[in-house]
């Protein structure tokens, strides 16, 4: 996917927020968008996600399924958690059965079970943020765009963000994530785009930052501890599978081995 000489301003005759931005992201790649407050990170993400159209330039190769996680989930809607997520899944083209399955899966994974019948305006900020994350993942996205996803999430849910990003990448998706709190260590191997002076510059990854996948066999009883320690050291645990599961397909993306879900 490529943003080609993209310009954006919020009103005709107003100041340019982004000028002549050209960036590209390939399947299986993540980019962290850095920059000071007000630099234009959210604007860039919304352009990439297709929420804002460019005033000039174009966006090529945007995947059909885009998951957009806004900085603040708009919780002022009169639906229950279950009703909202099911409607969101149906709007994304899932059948009734697929929608129920996807909603059940994300409700369970994000610990939203107790809130299924609660209406969105009654949710705490952190729980509302989880709904924002869940709705973006109901259909596996070819592009997942997360605007400051760590804001407002509790510790357990914050752990989930890099896990989910790893899964989207392993399935060949692209991920863009903005960050002004220095959480980038949680996404090793991600490209770095810095927004400043109305444009975007990329720090080219060095060989040291290139990613490889290492397969480990760990006694089942010690898996939770090992995963916890690996994550604490900044490693990216893509997934855990049982010894009788078929081995994953591995392919090369930009020189790094990436597992594909079979």
Partners of residue 33 on adjacent β-strands:
178, 193
Query: How does strand 143-146 pair with strand 66-69?
Result: parallel
CB 14 to ligand ATP: min, Å: 7
Distances (CA, A) of 181 to 33, 150, 177, 185: 11, 9, 12, 11
| CA triple 71-107-239, angle to 5 deg | 85
Cβ contacts of residue 42 below 8 Å, gap of 6+? 71, 147, 178
| Residue 40 or 132 having the CB closest to ligand ATP | 40
| Residue 180 or 231 having the CB closest to ligand ATP | 180
| Residue 43 or 135 having the CB closest to ligand ATP | 43
Distances (CA, A) of 128 to 71, 179, 240: 11, 19, 28
CA distance linking residue 141 with residue 49, whole number of Å:
11
CB 155 to ligand ATP: min, Å: 22
CB 130 to ligand ATP: min, Å: 20
| Residue 43 or 86 having the CB closest to ligand ATP | 43
CB 60 to ligand ATP: min, Å: 22
Residues in contact with ligand ATP by CB under 6 A are 10, 17, 35, 37-43, 180
| Residue 16 or 79 having the CB closest to ligand ATP | 16
CB 224 to ligand ATP: min, Å: 35
CA distance linking residue 174 with residue 104, whole number of Å:
25
């Amino acid at each position: 996917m490529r943003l080609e000489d993209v310009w954006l301003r919020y009103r005709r005759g107003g100041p340019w927020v982004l000028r002549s931005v050209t960036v590209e992201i390939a399947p299986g790649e993540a980019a962290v968008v850095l920059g000071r407050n007000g630099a234009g990170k959210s604007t860039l993400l919304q352009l990439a996600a297709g929420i804002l159209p460019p005033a000039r330039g174009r966006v090529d190769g945007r995947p059909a399924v885009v998951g957009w996680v806004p900085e603040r989930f708009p919780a002022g809607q009169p639906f229950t958690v279950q009703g909202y997520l099911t409607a969101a899944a149906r709007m994304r083209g899932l059948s009734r059965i697929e929608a129920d399955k996807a909603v059940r899966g994300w409700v369970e994974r994000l610990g939203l079970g107790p809130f299924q019948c609660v209406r969105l305006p009654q949710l705490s900020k952190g729980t509302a943020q989880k709904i924002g994350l869940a709705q973006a993942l109901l259909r596996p996205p070819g592009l997942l765009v997360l605007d400051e996803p760590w804001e407002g999430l509790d510790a357990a849910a914050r752990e989930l963000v890099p896990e989910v990003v790893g899964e989207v990448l392993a399935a060949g998706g692209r991920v863009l994530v903005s960050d002004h709190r220095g959480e980038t260590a949680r996404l090793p191997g991600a490209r770095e785009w810095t927004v400043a002076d109305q444009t975007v510059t990329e720090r080219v990854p060095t060989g040291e930052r290139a990613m490889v996948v290492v397969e480990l066999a760990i006694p089942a009883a010690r898996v939770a501890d090992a995963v916890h320690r690996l994550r604490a050291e900044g490693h990216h645990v893509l997934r855990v599978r049982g010894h009788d599961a078929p081995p994953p397909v591995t392919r090369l993306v930009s020189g790094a081995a990436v597992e594909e879900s079979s």
